[in-house]
Amino acid sequence: MRCSPIHGNGVFALAAIPAGAFVTEYRGEMISRGELERRIAEREAEGQGDAPIYYFEIGEDRYIDAAAVVENNPARFINHACDENCEAIWNAEAGRMEIFALRDIAAGEELSFDYGFELAGFFEHPCRCASEHCCGYIVAKPLRPALMKKLARHARAKAARR
């Protein structure tokens, strides 16, 4: 882990990683949506609303909170990128979130995956990946065409008001 050009801290490959290889596990405490909402409200009440979050949604009412698991847990620092080189897969049998390489990753390259955020509230999650395919916001890949249409409509409306 070291300073990332994408955002904050990032995780970088110490050696070349072949496509399909297991990279690491996203470790943390399993919590419900209700507990997640309680923790988010608590953070905001304490004035920590802008602090990094380490929640990973694994189902409709299941999340992994990696905030308290700091030892041997580099996955929580893997940044989002629109041209991700890793993917996160829930292993139901093992009960864990696993990170795998989508393609060959060179030694020294920053690891990234698609955070898969919903379209609602996209403006709260600007993307800094600088990829040529970056849509400007952290939104799941299947939702990016809809986001681009929404941004184009907004730009047209703004231009018409001038």
Task: Give 149's Cβ-side CA count (13 Å radius).
Answer: 6
Q: Which of 117, 11, 8 is nearest to 55 (CA)?
A: 117
Residue 144: band (very low, low, confident or very high) from pLDDT cuts 50, 70, 90 = very high
CA 40 to chain centre: 17
pLDDT of 91 reads: 95
Per 3-state DSSP, the chain is made up of helix, strand and coil in percentages (nearest 5) of: 25, 25, 50
pLDDT of 158 reads: 86
Task: Give 34's Cβ-side CA count (13 Å radius).
Answer: 0
- pLDDT surpassing 70 at residue 62: yes
pTM of the model: 0.86
- Alpha-carbon separation of residue 50 from 43, 135, 139 (angstroms): 9, 22, 19
pLDDT of 139 reads: 94
- Write the pLDDT tens digit of every residue in 30-53: 999 999 999 888 888 988 766 667
- Write the pLDDT tens digit of every residue in 2-13: 899 898 889 999
Domains, the chain, with CATH or none: 2-27+72-161 (2.170.270.10)
How far apart are the C-alpha atoms of 151 and 157, rounded to whole Å?
Answer: 10
